[in-house]
Chains A and B, each alone.
Chain A
């Protein structure tokens, strides 16, 4: 490869943070009336993030070995060397999460261009800031910087959750904000304790310093890490700290809920990242071992029970998000390094599937007639309180011009057929039935758990059987709950309108489902990549050496220093 490409590629890791920041800030300056311009800026920024994420993904693979050693790239912000400066670290896991975020963001952005951006202020700016927080949380190698990016994404998510206003949104938003603020305070306490004991905030340096701690300090450190872990588990939506999650996700607008489906995975990412770095000196309870397994299993049971009891599709998908969080946490808690790759595959499938499902839910909501909305659904698609209602069942639109905008859209023929088919595919993906990637994910997860845990006498430990039972049971609960709601949605004799769908709304759902089908077809190469990501993740020495070695920073500014 040419030298200048390599030189410039060293600056790629900062782009996923800078691009949405600039795009979001620029859009704040534009008036609300310049919708087309803001929409194109947002689309351009999201496309750019997807391209950057894909480039980063390719640089971390073995196909391009000469860019970063072991696929771990370190970007020292302002050229301040770790552990004194803040570094961004891109490894295979981070690159994978970036690509997933960007793909989901592209789909939800396209969906929201149809109508959702119009029901409130500054939708696109908040959306870009949310992406900035997500990308930053995946990239950063500094504990306090992680807190800042968590706050960025949470602050944006508060605004997005309230987007469209209405009593239900404000009510669940209040719970969501209070719970997350309390969790952020826990995060701060944990980070401060860790800093007080180790004297550093760099994650790689923390892993090194822990080994040098005296016994009393070690106790204090473990307490700090435990508090930090509780904060992460709140964000990950694990039982018993997730009662806010289903109602918040059900109340959010369809594209907002869809992009939220990756937010719980940020907590899981943090647990994975910090847990793997601390394995060198024995990770404390919330990051590994039996506690995490128990929490994960309880989360699965809670989510499955919620799926059985939910009457409203949005709540049910919220519980599906809870189940997916619990599954991944339980898989991490089994302490088998081989399980990480299947768990990541499951994460990919569940994020894409629940994202598509939330958007699909936004469209099926429109098949209800207005009178029915009042009694059956807790929440109309867009609130009728703040804005006047126009037309029948169509969400009200703020300014006069979009009235024509509704007509411009091409009504998809056989819209109900599309909705039904997409619904079935989403159910297959979420519950893990064959033949789609949900099944592949669950199957590899179970097969690997059995294979790696089976002892010489051919018997697997109780924990593995518990995980298998919980996974299968949650799948069954999902099928029952979703089949019941599906029958009511598509087969019940209540008079319904056939919704007018626009291509720009249907395509994102189809895109996400096609990505899942692609993941099914290309499961082999994908698993190979995820396996290598898991190997890098479970070799914390590689990460620590990459961050703390002076060469990694020297490579970035090599020409200047030599």
Chain B
């Protein structure tokens, strides 16, 4: 499972970086979205990959940390998702405004040959 997770993070991050370096604003937004998915998975994996372990200690169980998943990375991922979501939405608005004001979807606001 580790190898699948690592591959997924790697592919997402690689595609994200490639798209981020492209000249069209839409590609840049998609690149940032893919990168943030990769980063979120990465944060999640930093709490160690485990199956069948709840992150919350129930009232009836004895408290043995080995039986539980680390809840902190899950909380961090949640925060990161919310922040990433909001900033991506804001970026989309800026992207549309830039398209409207400059008449092109190039990130520099003008085509290269102009």
Contact = CB atoms under 8 A, between A and B. Distances in A.
Smallest CB-CB A-B distances: 8 pairs: A196-B46, A192-B43, A171-B109, A167-B101, A192-B46, A170-B98, A170-B97, A151-B83
Contacts of A188: 39, 42-43, 80
Contacts of A185: 32, 35-36, 39
Interface string B90-111: 1100110110011000011100
Interface in A338-380: none
A96 B39 CA distance: 34
Given A174-B95, A182-B35, A195 B102 contact: no
A63 B84 CA distance: 45
Interface of A: 144, 148, 151, 154-155, 158-159, 162, 165-167, 170-171, 173-175, 177-178, 181-182, 184-185, 188-189, 191-193, 195-196, 201, 385
Contact of B98 (A171, A182, A189, A196): A171
Contact of B73 (A159, A175, A195): A195
Interface string B53-94: 000000000000000000011001001100100111011001
Contact of B101 (A158, A159, A166): A166
Given A178-B28, A182-B35, A192 B90 contact: no
B39 A189 contact: yes
Given A188-B43, A195-B46, A385 B90 contact: no
Contacts of A189: 39, 42
Given A177-B94, A182-B32, A155 B86 contact: yes
A184 B81 CA distance: 12
B94 A162 contact: yes
Nearest to B102: A167
B94 A195 contact: no
A190 to B, nearest CB: 10
A180 to B, nearest CB: 9
Nearest to A193: B46
Contacts of A173: 94
Dominant secondary structure at the A interface: helix
Nearest to A201: B72
Interface residues of B, number: 31
Contacts of A167: 98, 101-102, 109
A184 to B, nearest CB: 8
A327 to B, nearest CB: 30
A35 B35 CA distance: 41
A385 B28 CA distance: 26
A276 B90 CA distance: 35
Nearest to A148: B79
Contacts of A196: 46-47, 73
30 contacts: A144-B76, A148-B79, A155-B90, A158-B87, A159-B90, A162-B97, A170-B102, A171-B98, A171-B101, A173-B94, A174-B95, A177-B91, A177-B94, A178-B20, A181-B87, A182-B32, A182-B35, A188-B39, A188-B80, A189-B42, A191-B76, A192-B43, A192-B73, A192-B76, A195-B46, A195-B72, A195-B73, A195-B76, A201-B72, A385-B101
Contacts of A148: 79, 83
Contact of A174 (B76, B87, B107): B107
A250 to B, nearest CB: 15
